[in-house]
Structure 1
Amino acid sequence: MERDLGTFERMLGDSADLVRLVRSPVFSAEEQLAALDALLAKAGISGLAANFVKLAARNRRLFALPDMIRAFRALLAEKRGEATAEVVSAVALSDAHVAALKDALAASTGKTVNISARVDPALIGGLVVKVGSRMIDTSLRTKLNSLKFAMKEVG
């Protein structure tokens, strides 16, 4: 089921037309169901995952499907003792840096940590790491903004 829902989620990310079908109230439940039935069969998604997507279509809840998939993944990760860390860096992280970060976060959280990395050159340097509700911001941009704010208070 997890793999099939991941496949469907990737399909949503790759197709603006599919997103339109899922989000638009213009299409009837029957039209959405017929289109999804064909797409799911073509993608090889069947069983429980296909039934889940079709149920959401029948109940006019397709717009909430991405959030439902994320919630399912979060519950599954919690059950497995895993956590996902969202990491933003100024430059792409090397494999060695990702491994070191995983080890440090695993030691800190006591869970197996998966890294979801993205690059934001506006950070200038450093990292912003978010695990659950905790956020660690060591970016140069934040430090410079803090210094700028402190200088304004003095002057």
Structure 2
Amino acid sequence: MNTKNVNTIAQPYAEALIAIAKSSQSLETVNADMSFVETTLANSSELRSYLWNPLVSKQDKLTLVNKIFSDHISSISLQFLKLLIDRKRITLVNYIISKYLELGLEIASVTLVKITSAVSLSDEQLNLLTDKIKVMYNSRQIQVDFKIDANLIAGFIVQVGSKTIDTSVKGQLEKLYTFMDIGLG
């Protein structure tokens, strides 16, 4: 399934969960639940394989989800996971959660920023960078997902939504190589 189809399916589910969470005044709880589910699935390839397996019965998947998550997430979130299993959309849960969290941040006027740097940034450097991003994207609040990747050699990459700003040496070398490759062709 291509990305466009996945987003077409994930968006309505994410919007429905946002609407339910808002109407029940449990947006923060459901946000935490979805983050927990996302982390749990990311850390267990066995769980993902089991839930994604079309040969496993719907009832067995429901039983397992109930057993694993019932003591850790709200009933709203648990019912949502069961709905995804029932509608055979559990294989898209990562996309749906990602879209849900993105929409939740938009509601709270929070901009999610992914920063990958060749080295650790000082608090002052990170604050200067996030202040510039706030101005660029007219955002009141920034949530930063920071990672270090020594392969960048130097510099950093900032990703906000579908936009990427690449100031890394690795990125600049790749652009130069592409330019030279086209020019020599």
Q: Normalising by structure 1, report the TM-score.
A: 0.88
Instruction: Calculate the aligned-residue CA RMSD, in Å.
Output: 1.9
Structure 2: any 5+ residue segments left out of the alignment? 1-29
Measured after TM superposition, the shift of residue 115 of structure 1 is: 1.2
Equivalent residue for 1:2, pick from 21, 31, 36: 31
Equivalent residue for 1:106, pick from 134, 156, 159: 134
Measured after TM superposition, the shift of residue 95 of structure 1 is: 2.9
- In 2 relative to 1, CA 141–36 (structure 1 residues): closer, same or farther, beyond 3 Å? same
Equivalent residue for 2:145, pick from 100, 112, 116: 116
Match of 2:59 in 1: 30
Measured after TM superposition, the shift of residue 55 of structure 1 is: 0.9
Q: Distance between the aligned counterparts of 1:3 and 1:10, measured in 2? A: 11
Measured after TM superposition, the shift of residue 149 of structure 1 is: 5.6
Q: Distance between the aligned counterparts of 1:56 and 1:125, measured in 2? A: 43
Measured after TM superposition, the shift of residue 26 of structure 1 is: 2.0
Match of 2:113 in 1: 85
Which sits farther off after the overlay, 66-75 or 115-124?
A: 115-124
- Partner letter of residue 95 of structure 1? D
- In 2 relative to 1, CA 138–48 (structure 1 residues): closer, same or farther, beyond 3 Å? same
Match of 1:40 in 2: 69
Q: In the TM superposition, what whole-angstrom CA distance separates every residue of 1:39-71 from its partner, at most 9, and x where no partner exists?
A: 1124x2132111101111122211011111111
Residue 75 of structure 1 pairs with residue 103 of structure 2 = yes
Aligned length: 153
Q: Distance between the aligned counterparts of 1:95 and 1:24, measured in 2? A: 44
Structure 1: any 5+ residue segments left out of the alignment? none
- Partner letter of residue 13 of structure 1? A
Measured after TM superposition, the shift of residue 100 of structure 1 is: 2.0
Match of 1:57 in 2: 85
- In 2 relative to 1, CA 35–150 (structure 1 residues): closer, same or farther, beyond 3 Å? closer
Q: Normalising by structure 2, report the TM-score.
A: 0.74
Three-state SS of the structure 2 residue aligned to 1:125 is coil
